Amino acid sequence: MHATVLEWYALHARDLPWRRPEASPWSVLVSELMLQQTPVARVLPVHAAWLERWPTPAALAAATTGDAVRAWGRLGYPRRALRLHAAATAITTTHGGEVPQAYETLLTLPGVGDYTAAAVASFAYGRRHVVLDTNVRRVIARAVGGVEHPARSVTRAERDRAAALLPGVEADGSSDAATWNVGLMELGALVCTAASPACDRCPLVDRCAWVAAGRPAYDGPPRVAQTWAGTDRQCRGRLMAVLRDADGPVPISALEAAWAGAEQRERCLRSLVDDGLLAQVGPSTYALPTD
């Protein structure tokens, strides 16, 4: 499988800025935080603007959290902007402004969990780690496990299987593990998609256990689709949009105009303040944080 996936990736990889040889580890870290639950097409312009404005962790650490939230724009899940700002501060104060190389050290950064630490160590530094994003998990589940979709959360058996599939270390100390990881990721994003897999274009079709079994339908726990309209997420997004587009503090009346439901609006305002995304600067006035 290694040669097949690596050859396919060499021919079909998208030209993404965080994958280019000149990409800094900081660019890779920023991309990984931005890409969580967000399509590549939406991330590309924000990533470019972010790196132009804050090309190093120290540059972001010198900005306010409000600046980070405003620059995050409409990517969604804006707490990621706060986590990235906190990580930049930790990198600047504790690691000399350089994104750490070791998985264990990356895990100590605010907002960096198992997946992000493994991804940055692998993609920025070529370290040999299992990187299990949604696309990688789906390709392995189908090609090796023979099932349409992986479990909702990563299992020990799934992690062990992925570890066994990692390319080994050559005599000269090199490994194709990082390229293997990103190759599986790209295959899942472009070909082995969740809803409409293009098996006729897949380089693994002749050895895919799921195809060999007749592409059996998923029979696990129901896969619940995320809703949006009317949710607290939508309400929070509307309120954040008002603050991002304003030059300064905004009165509660502007927020009332953005979301009519008083009870939900108040609940979401409280949660945004609790999360550090907004600050109440007057009895009925709100603003982005300035710390």
pLDDT digits (tens, 9 = 90+) for 39-82: 999 999 999 999 999 999 999 999 999 999 999 999 999 999 99
The residues that bridge with 243 in the sheet, in sequence order, are: none
32 is catalytic: yes
Which tokens belong to 217?
């339908």
Give the pTM: 0.92
In the predicted model, residues of the chain with pLDDT beneath 50 are: none
Q: Cα–Cα distance between 1 and 5 in angstroms, integer?
A: 6
Q: Which domains does the chain have, with CATH numbers?
A: 2-125 (1.10.340.30), 134-212 (1.10.1670.10), 232-287 (1.10.10.10)
pLDDT tens per residue across span 85-107: 999 999 999 999 999 999 999 99
Q: Cα–Cα distance between 88 and 250 in angstroms, integer?
A: 28
C-alpha dihedral sign at 243, 76, 91, 29: negative
CA distances from 69 to 82, 87, 120, 203 (A): 7, 14, 22, 41
Angle, alpha carbons 200-44-36 (nearest 5°): 75
Q: Cα–Cα distance between 27 and 20 in angstroms, integer?
A: 10
Out of 7, 22, 32, 263, pick the active-site residue: 32
